[in-house]
Amino acid sequence: MTSERAKRFPLGLADLERKPRTSTAAPRAGSDERARARTNAAPREAGLLRADMPASHGLEKMGAPRMGAPNVALTGALALTSERVRERMVERLRTNGVLDARVLHAMSVVPRHMFVDPGLAAQAYEDAALPIGHQQTISKPSVVARMLELAAAGRELQRVLEIGTGCGYQAAVLSRMAGDVYSIERIKPLYERAKINLRPLRVPNIRLHYGDGRLGLPAAAPFDAIVIAAAGLDVPQALLEQLAIGGRLVAPVGAQSGQNQVLTLVERVSNSQWRESRLDRVFFVPLKSGVI
């Protein structure tokens, strides 16, 4: 039978500070030190953003892992190695022209290796797109940084919409830059995988939604920024309408075959006017309608 405490999601502060059970057995030599090391190592990859953000609009709120969920955070020397590798990745991004301190900081603390298949973890911090199944990919770190820097443009972001959750990595990075992140995924297994990937990080301000990204989320609009992680021949009008005045939308636009796709910035300047800028050549998976 599930206890009342196990039903609560996310866990409250009292759950995180439970005292260990007492035991009459004498501890083995070195056990206290090993226990302390495990306790201190576990939170290194956790704790993305605030824990007091309320859920809204009927979307699934990401929080602490359910009791009994596997702890996938790296510990010890391997965790330190991943931190150093992330620092080198961020240094490359800075060298290549990414200047927004919020983007660089967010990418320095979000563990990208936790969002790729274990067999590809060694490549997680290379500037490469990696397969995540279902003919989808996790974007290059340089592309993620470029899109988020364009979307933010030095502004304070309260509410952001992401189209194409994928494995959840970009949503995790966005969660370090915005008050609330709403993310839509149309492929059910990827939606479920993103929930699993995000849960150990205790990200309280991401709302995942399984649905058709081309329709957006009118109930949660308007958005300060919209980031589309798939390419269409144009930007859906529904998404343009959900952009706040002064908001920015970043999307790859072009043929779904990948030829001549261009990273495009759309700024809403009034109720009925948008300004478009065509920027970099990119290669993204196609933006499709419906759910599967």
Kindly provide the b/e burial profile for residues 235-251, where b requires at least 16 CB atoms within 10 angstroms of the residue's own CB.
Answer: bbeebbebbeeebbbbb
Q: Report which of 191, 204, 213, 199 is spatially closest to residue 289, judged by C-alpha positions.
A: 213
> With contact defined as beta carbons under 8 Å apart, do 194 and 208 qualify?
yes
Active-site residue, from 82, 139, 175, 183? 139
Number of other CB atoms surrounding residue 126 within 10 Å: 15
Tokens of 16: 């995180």
> With contact defined as beta carbons under 8 Å apart, do 79 and 41 qualify?
yes
CA distance 87 to 109: 9
- 3 as an active site residue: the answer is no
Phi, psi dihedral angles at 82 (to 5 degrees): -65, -35
Q: Which residues are catalytic?
A: 139
